[in-house]
């Protein structure tokens, strides 16, 4: 067991900044005045050595270790449909910002010259541009359907576990079907691919 030095003995000469922490006062035996019967300033068996503080570190920081439960990590959770739809709802909400930027670029090109509009239409009309626009359409519809699901929940309905799971599965199915229908209608109005 390490021996704690008496208060004032070579503490500052060793470059140690020592603060008398209140949680340590009962663990260290107070030094006896000279001539006292015990004459010993050896720490009790439960004493801890003084903590060395770095420059700028708070000396009032607690050094006690408390046994606290750890928060569970994502690996311990089984992915369920309601959890997945919650995550996807947030992702599609973020994707809508990106899609709106694309929409504003298209509007700005439409307000600009014919060459600029043709360039932007060429990019959006390529296979990659259509894939991005399809994803944007799905994100918009999925976010809408997810919002309707939350609106139903706000009325106090559909909160049972089985019903919420069915609604989550229906959200993904309805969003995919509606996205395909929107694109079919769009190509039919346009006159083909």
Over residues 63-89, the pLDDT tens digits come to 666 666 666 676 677 889 999 999 999
pLDDT digits (tens, 9 = 90+) for 117-163: 999 999 999 999 999 999 999 999 999 999 999 999 999 999 999 99
Which position has the token pair 């607690």? 62
Domains and CATH numbers, the chain: 1-62 (no CATH), 74-190 (1.20.1300.10)
Mean pLDDT in the chain? 79
Q: Which of 93, 16, 117, 97 is nearest to 57 (CA)?
A: 16
pLDDT level of residue 26 (50, 70, 90 thresholds): very low
Cα–Cα distance, 107 to 180 (Å, whole number): 24
Taking the alpha carbons of 56, 57, 58, 59 in that order, is the dihedral positive or negative? negative
Structure tokens at 179: 């996205």
Please report the pLDDT score of residue 129 as a whole number.
96
DSSP letters, 109-143, are HHHS-HHHHHHHHHHHHSHHHHHHHHHHHHHHHHH
What does the CA dihedral 66, 67, 71, 72 come to, rounded to 10 degrees?
Answer: 160
Return the half-sphere exposure (C-beta side, CA atoms, 13 A cut-off) of residue 31.
8
Token pair listed for 152: 């139903």
End-to-end CA distance of the chain: 83
Residue 6 has pLDDT above 80, yes or no: no
Q: How far apart are CA 100 and CA 92, in angstroms?
A: 12
Q: Are 63 and 51 in contact (CB under 8 A)?
A: yes
């Amino acid at each position: 067991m390490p021996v704690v030095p008496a208060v004032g003995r070579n503490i500052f000469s060793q470059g140690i900044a020592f603060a008398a922490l209140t949680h340590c006062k009962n663990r260290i035996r107070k030094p006896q005045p000279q001539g006292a019967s015990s004459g010993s300033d050896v720490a009790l068996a439960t004493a801890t050595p003084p903590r060395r503080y770095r420059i700028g570190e708070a000396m009032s920081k607690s050094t006690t270790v408390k046994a606290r439960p750890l928060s569970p990590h994502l690996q311990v959770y089984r992915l369920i449909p309601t959890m997945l739809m919650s995550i996807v709802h947030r992702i599609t909400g973020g994707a809508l910002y990106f899609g709106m930027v694309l929409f504003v670029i298209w509007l700005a090109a439409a307000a600009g010259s014919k060459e600029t509009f043709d360039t932007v239409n060429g990019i959006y009309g390529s296979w990659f541009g259509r894939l991005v626009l399809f994803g944007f359409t799905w994100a918009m519809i999925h976010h809408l359907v997810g919002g309707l699901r939350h609106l139903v929940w706000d009325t106090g309905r559909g909160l049972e576990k089985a019903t919420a799971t069915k609604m989550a599965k229906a959200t993904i199915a309805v969003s995919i079907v509606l996205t395909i229908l929107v694109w079919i209608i769009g190509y039919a109005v346009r006159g083909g691919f």
